[in-house]
Amino acid sequence: MSYTLPKIPLGDAVEIIVDWIDTYLGWLLDAISTILSILTDTFYAALIALPPIVMILLISALAWVIQNRTYLKKESQGEKRRLKFNLAILSCFGLFLVLDLQLWDEAMETLALVIISAFVALLIGIPLGILAAKHDIIEKPTRITLDFMQTMPSFVYLIPAVIFFGLGNVPGIIATVIFAMPPAIRLTNLGIRQIPKELNEVADAFGSTPRQKLFKVELPVALPTIMAGVNQCIMLALSMTVIASMIGAGGLGYQVLYGIQRVDIGAGFEAGLAIVIIAIILDRLTQELVPKSHFEKSQT
């Protein structure tokens, strides 16, 4: 005779929690949904307000400025200063290709979703990483939670987003924020904890307050590692666009999903290529925000 263990009522417990949140925190969910919807719509409208050619030139010019700010040669080395154009040319060529594929509006919608999602994830993740670095009592449960979040299949993040926010861009942003947040928390925590003790001792010797030490010593020294977390956060947010399209998020992810559903290989490939182009541009831009040697050091 087989013996069956009694089933733990996890599903019933989750339903009770969801009902409680919907009943008592519905106003907060509505407020979050409204704010994110306004931010996304406003940013998307700003991106498509200018003609595509003008926007391409502006993004290419921004890439040129960022790259040459970090790649100017030192005169003390006896070398002439050289201007770099490869990132600007890459941005210009890639975005012109997106425009030629008639995916410009979808690409701008995807860019708006990614930037808003990454901004919210960093707004939450970096302060949490600082708190985890300062307090071991916060770091230990945070580390366990991050392990859980990073091993959870990405599709699972769609479930609570749909339950609390329905369908559309807002639940896609919520799922993307949860999915992209862990690297920002981990690398901020790691960067601050790796600061040499001598620097903290010097700051304490000069009578620095905790806030002064944080903003003038710890964050500047940990910046390369924090920027690596920013880079990973943006890349994860972009990788989530296709998955988020399953719950109504628009942009290029929806075009990829449409190609899969209709077995339209050409449409799916073109949308996927546009996502790759945006990913490369964002990846290079975020890397260029910190000197290359520092960025590579933070990766090792």
76-to-73, 79, 230, 294 alpha-carbon distances in Å:
9, 8, 32, 20
pLDDT number for residue 95: 92
Per-residue confidence in pLDDT tens, the chain, 300 aa: 555 677 777 777 878 887 888 888 888 888 988 998 999 889 999 988 889 999 999 999 988 888 777 555 454 344 455 667 778 888 899 999 999 999 999 999 999 999 999 999 999 999 999 999 888 888 888 888 888 888 888 788 888 888 888 888 888 898 899 889 999 999 999 988 888 888 877 887 877 788 888 888 888 888 888 988 899 999 998 888 888 888 888 888 888 888 888 888 888 898 889 999 999 998 888 888 775 544 444 444
pLDDT of residue 71: 53
**Could you tell me which residues come within 8 angstroms of residue 139 by beta carbon, excluding any fewer than 6 positions away?**
132, 133, 189
All structural domains of the chain: 12-49+101-299 (1.10.3720.10)
Q: Calculate the CA dihedral of residues 148, 151, 155, 157 and round it to 10 degrees.
A: 20
pLDDT score of 3 = 58
What is the pLDDT, as a whole number, of residue 287?
A: 83
Tell me what pLDDT residue 81 has. 57
Q: Are 187 and 129 in contact (CB under 8 A)?
A: yes
For position 293, what pLDDT does the model report?
46
Report the distance separating Cα 133 and Cα 137, nearest Å. Answer: 10
Matching residue, tokens 């601050």: 192
Q: What is the SS3 assignment for the chain? A: CCCCCCCCCHHHHHHHHHHHHHHHCHHHHHHHHHHHHHHHHHHHHHHHHCCHHHHHHHHHHHHHHHHHHHCCCCHHHCCCCCCCCHHHHHHHHHHHHHHHCCCHHHHHHHHHHHHHHHHHHHHHHHHHHHHHHHCHHHHHHHHHHHHHHHHCCHHHHHHHHHHHHCCCHHHHHHHHHHHHHHHHHHHHHHHHHCCCHHHHHHHHHCCCCHHHHHHHHHHHHHHHHHHHHHHHHHHHHHHCHHHHHHHCCCCHHHHHHHHHHCCCHHHHHHHHHHHHHHHHHHHHHHHHCCCHHHHHHHHC
